[in-house]
Amino acid sequence: MTNAKLTKDRKDMKIRDVWEARKRIASIVSRTPLIQSTILSEKTGRPVFLKLENVHEVGAFKVRGAANKILSLSEEAKKRGVATFSTGNHGMAVAYVAKKIGIDAVVCISNRVPKAKVDSLKRLGAQIEIVGDSQDAAGERCYELERGKGLTVIQPFDDPHVIAGQGTIGLELLEDLPNLTDVIVPLSGGGLLSGIGLALKSCDRDIRVTGVSMEQSAVMYESLKAGKPVKLEESETLADSLLGGIGLDNQYTFEMVRQYIDDVVLIPEDEIAFSMALMMDKHRIIMEGAAATGIAAVLGNKIPQQDGDIAVIISGQNVDLSILLKLIQNYTCENKG
């Protein structure tokens, strides 16, 4: 099936979908805090707020979309179980929700998924299958399980229920920040930005939505440049949660990102590392590299100057402590005196 045919046949999402998601996931997903960052506000001369999605029990925003999708399944589908493919956080979210409601879950991951996330998946009781060196390879195995065992695949991003679940972050931002004019969103497959963009732009088209990603293997960025989904080889990066393809047959997020995004900023590895260490030093907040891309965009003055509040989505905190320790040691050495 061609992209054009998929786009024509897909269900257009509405803000109503996000409100329905908010009601559906309320029993599992808690509202997350929003705090002002003094150091970032002083840096920009504007109020900068951090939306702490890292405080979810699974340590990342992904629980919102996973909960909305799984809870929308029929009882028969729930009994058969679910499967997913992931760079880590979405897999943990699916495993967490499945455990909460008492159904089976298989999580397919690649060899690139960090040990901290693999250990978390094991603690959550998911069956883990490690396949290949990319999220795409893990995805192929996931669909084999769907065909062979009847498991329902819970897409990491390109699914309307998942997108709507992530969009509930946008509703919370609108309630907490009536003077919001800029939101900075980590960008990979686009489920997070699509959902937040839908929620915010349905209220006010002038709210600027900036996507942030690492410089290498930024698949959505390259796809937007090409005007169609493209495939890239994955590279080593601190922002490992942003790795993975968007699917050459992408049905939702490519078009929604293209519709809602105002700008894309790519962040070099040294700025991601510095931002992770700075937030640990100044705010005592652990964040993974994907979340730190938004901090780096603010520190690098990548957000256009205008009146109003800036919100940075702190998407997750699942990082190996050995990596964090090394970053903090380097940061401390560089900032002595």
pLDDT tens figures, 180-202: 999 999 999 999 999 999 999 99
How does DSSP assign 228-292, residue by residue?
Answer: S---------S-GGG-S---TT--SHHHHHHHH--EEEEE-HHHHHHHHHHHHHHH-----HHHH
Indicate the residue type of 49: F
Query: What is the pLDDT confidence band of residue 16, given thresholds at 50, 70 and 90?
Result: very high
Q: Estimate to the nearest angstrom the gap between the alpha carbon of 183 and the chain centroid.
A: 14
% of residues, the chain, pLDDT over 90: 73
pLDDT reported for residue 9: 46
Q: Convert the pLDDT of each residue in 256-291 to its tens digit.
A: 999 999 999 999 999 999 999 999 999 999 999 999
Strands 34-36 and 48-52, by their bridges, are antiparallel
Identify the three-state secondary structure at position 199. helix
Q: Convert the pLDDT of each residue in 121-139 to its tens digit.
A: 888 888 999 888 877 788 8
- Is residue 298 within 8 Å of residue 44, measured between CB atoms? yes
- Is residue 288 within 8 Å of residue 318, measured between CB atoms? yes
Indicate the residue type of 155: Q
d(CA 234, CA 245): 9
Q: Give the residue, 114 or 235, on which the prediction is more confident.
A: 235
Identify the three-state secondary structure at position 309. strand
Indicate the residue type of 96: Y
